[in-house]
Amino acid sequence: MVEAEVIMKKKNEEERGGKRRWGWAAIGAVLMVLVAISITSKYTKNPNSCQCAQDSRKYTGIVEDCCCDYETVDSINGAVLHPLLQELVTTPFFRYFKTKTLPQVKLWCDCPFWPDDGMCKLRDCSVCECPETEFPELFKKPSQYALPSDDLKCQEGKPEAAVDRTLDSKAFRGWMEVDNPWTNDDETDNSEMTYVNLLLNPERYTGYTGPSARRIWDAVYSENCPQYASGESCQEKKVLYKLISGLHSSISIHIASDYLLDEAKSLWGKNLDLMYDRVLRYPDRVRNLYFTYLFVLRAVTKAKNYLEQAEYETGNHDEDLKAQSLIRQLLYNPKLQAACPLPFDEAKLWQGQSGPELKQQIQKQFRNISALMDCVGCEKCRLWGKLQVLGLGTALKILFSVDGHSQSNQPLQLQRNEVIALVNLLNRLSESIKFVQEVSPSIEKKMDGLLSEPIAEEFSSWRRIWEAVGGFWLKKLQL
Ligand SMILES: Cc1cc2nc3c(=O)[nH]c(=O)nc-3n(C[C@H](O)[C@H](O)[C@H](O)COP(=O)(O)OP(=O)(O)OC[C@H]3O[C@@H](n4cnc5c(N)ncnc54)[C@H](O)[C@@H]3O)c2cc1C
């Protein structure tokens, strides 16, 4: 009897122990599942996780609102456009830009918005002007080849419905001084104009920063091309915003690619952190750079008949022939024509009843942006700001002010300075695209590394917790 009681007691204890183990096992399993859910949700659903950030930084497929993809832009830019443009901008015709280079004290006369407080810190802010003897003699005189207006080929009689994307090549014989409805520049004001050699004044870090620079960008964005909220704004306003943002990205990339790393030692070089902070970490800014590049490229190729027949005379026969030849190679490049025949389709814009009114409104906003460039408080920044905004204004003029439907029915006429600005702008954008393509994988890898270090640390902490929890429950189960 006693023996039977002892056996029963033992059996009951074993059953209780078994139940206890099962209880501990169940609690352990639930806790482990909770820990696992917490870890997986942290690294798969969190929008700030490394995986998501990596995906959003890949640039593939068609560039938004354009007709060409990122991969094609990279390859055609690297293989064809960049080398051609680099050579073209060194020719005498393209390297001298006519601009007002007013001393700081006179700046307020030109800036229609506010007197500048001159924030520029470095010697590198100032522009190196050309001596009178250096720039081409032919540039000093008004063109003797200008056509009387009745000699311009009329574009009437084209079918109203179809968009004519060709430009009248016969209209061009010489450089005309005509107003650009998109810009605020007046090239006829010769007394204060001077020529600068762009090769001697590279766009790079100048030390222009702080409230003065910020005020210009703020005025450009907030008053003249407010950020569109997707779906709310019309396509045309979106285009203006993207052009300015793309230009801003390009300026920041040039600052970062030629930066004063150590002022005391006069050491210049690449500042990749700055490039990441200002451009690469914002995928939209990179996309807008590609958009602006394709937009300007479309303008250049649309004006091909005109540009082919233009005169690139500076008095230096060999160099002028070279400029002409390089322009032809650019305009009729078979690789470019095959890979990206229509970089941007301007025919989709200004449709509908409000088209003409909208165009006037955006034209006014762009003229304001152009006028704002006179308020940039650093000469070299102002030079490149004015040149590139004039380049954009020229692209806008080519794409939107001259076609079969223009009110005036006037064929395209460009000022010499507009052509110089257009080509130099395309070259700047091309350099930026190349730079982004070359350095962004390594910067992104570095940044991903920095991002993943804390994540790796977190993972190992989680692993330690996991092991501790697992070990504890195993011990309990072995009890
Ligand atoms: C016309 C112009 C030309 C300049 N040229 C030079 C130059 O040659 N060399 C030089 O050293 N400095 C130049 N600067 C100054 C330079 O652009 C910066 O303003 C300065 O370096 C201070 O930079 P930041 O970090 O405050 O940002 P900023 O570049 O001033 O940007 C101001 C704000 O604009 C927004 N933003 C920035 N980039 C973009 C983008 N791509 N798209 C949309 N929004 C954006 C952000 O909200 C940012 O905070 C120029 C300024 C202007 C206005």
pLDDT of residue 47: 38
Residue 63 alpha carbon to ligand 1 centre in Å: 23
Instruction: Supply φ then ψ for residue 108, to 5 degrees.
Output: -60, -25
Q: Is the CB of 289 under 6 A from ligand 1?
A: no
Name the strand (E) or helix (H) holding 215.
helix 211-218
Task: Kindly write down the DSSP assignment for every residue of 322-348, as one continuous string.
Answer: HHHHHHHHHHT-HHHHHH-S-SS-GGG
Give the model's pLDDT for residue 472.
Answer: 57
**pTM, two decimal places:** 0.75
Distance (Å, whole) CA 398 – CA 389: 14
Task: Give the atom of ligand 1 at the shortest distance from the alpha carbon of 208.
Answer: 12
What stretch of H or E contains 260? strand 259-262
Q: Which residue has the higher pLDDT, 212 or 425?
A: 425
Question: 171, 75 in Cβ contact below 8 A?
Answer: no
| Any atom of ligand 1 within 6 Å of the Cβ of 208 | yes
| Contact 376 CB / ligand 1 (< 6 Å) | yes
Sorted by sequence, the CB contacts under 8 Å of residue 193 that are 6+ apart come out as 98, 99, 100, 187
Ligand 1 geometric centre to CA of 250 (Å): 10
Specify the DSSP element, H or E, that contains 458. Answer: helix 416-478
Exposure of 368 by Cβ count < 10 A (0-12 exposed, 13-18 middle, 19+ buried)? middle
Cα 399 to ligand 1 centroid, rounded to whole Å: 27
| CB of 249 shorter than 6 A to ligand 1 | yes
Q: Considering only residues 15 and 325, tell me which one the structure prediction assigns the higher pLDDT.
A: 325
**Residue that the structure tokens 């950030």 belong to:** 53
pLDDT band at 396 (very low <50, low <70, confident <90, very high): very high
Atom in ligand 1 nearest the alpha carbon of residue 381: 5
DSSP string of 379-411, one letter each residue: HHHHHHHHHHHHHHHHHHIIIIISSTT-TT-PP
Which atom of ligand 1 is the closest one to the Cα of 373?
1
Cβ of 251 below 6 Å from ligand 1: yes
| pLDDT tens figures, 250-264 | 999 999 999 999 999
Atom 40, ligand 1: residue with shortest CA distance = 245
Per-residue model confidence (pLDDT) at position 39: 45
Question: Which class for 150: exposed (0-12), middle (13-18), buried (19 or more C-beta within 10 A)?
Answer: exposed
Residue 262 per-residue DSSP state: E
CA of 215 to the centre of ligand 1 (A): 10
pLDDT tens sequence across 202-218? 999 999 998 889 999 99
Q: Which residue has the tokens 């396509």?
A: 235
H or E stretch covering 193: strand 193-197
pLDDT tens string 286-341: 999 999 999 999 999 999 999 999 999 998 999 999 999 999 999 999 999 999 99
Q: How far is the CA of 431 from the centre of ligand 1 (A)?
A: 18
Contact between 48 and 57 under an 8 Å Cβ cutoff? The reply is no
Q: What is the DSSP string of 92-121?
A: HHHHEEEEE---GGGHHHH-SS--------
CA–centroid distance, residue 422 to ligand 1 (Å): 21
Compare 369 and 132 and report the one with higher pLDDT: 369
**Given this model, what pLDDT does residue 422 score?**
98
> What pLDDT shows up at residue 385?
95
Q: What is the mean pLDDT of residues 134-140?
A: 66
Write the CB contacts of 338 (distance below 8 Å, at least 6 apart in sequence): none
pLDDT (tens digit, 9 = 90+) per residue, 460-478?
Answer: 455 555 555 555 555 555 5
Nearest C-alpha to atom 51 of ligand 1 is from which residue? 213
Q: Which value does ipTM take for this structure? A: 0.99
Most confident of 106-115, 137-146, 349-358, 422-431: 422-431
Q: Work out the pLDDT band at 165, boundaries 50, 70, 90.
A: very low
User: Which residues are 262's β-sheet partners?
Assistant: 267
Burial class (CB in 10 A: 0-12, 13-18, 19+), 99: buried
The torsion angle over the Cα atoms of residues 117, 118, 119 and 124, rounded to 10 degrees, is 170
Q: How high is the pLDDT of residue 412?
A: 87
Whether the CB-CB separation of 339 and 81 falls below 8 Å is answered with no
Enumerate the β-bridge partners of residue 98: 195
pLDDT at 176: 60
Whose alpha carbon is nearest atom 52 of ligand 1?
A: 213
Ligand 1 pocket: which of 204, 217, 240 to mutate (most atoms within 8 A of CB): 217
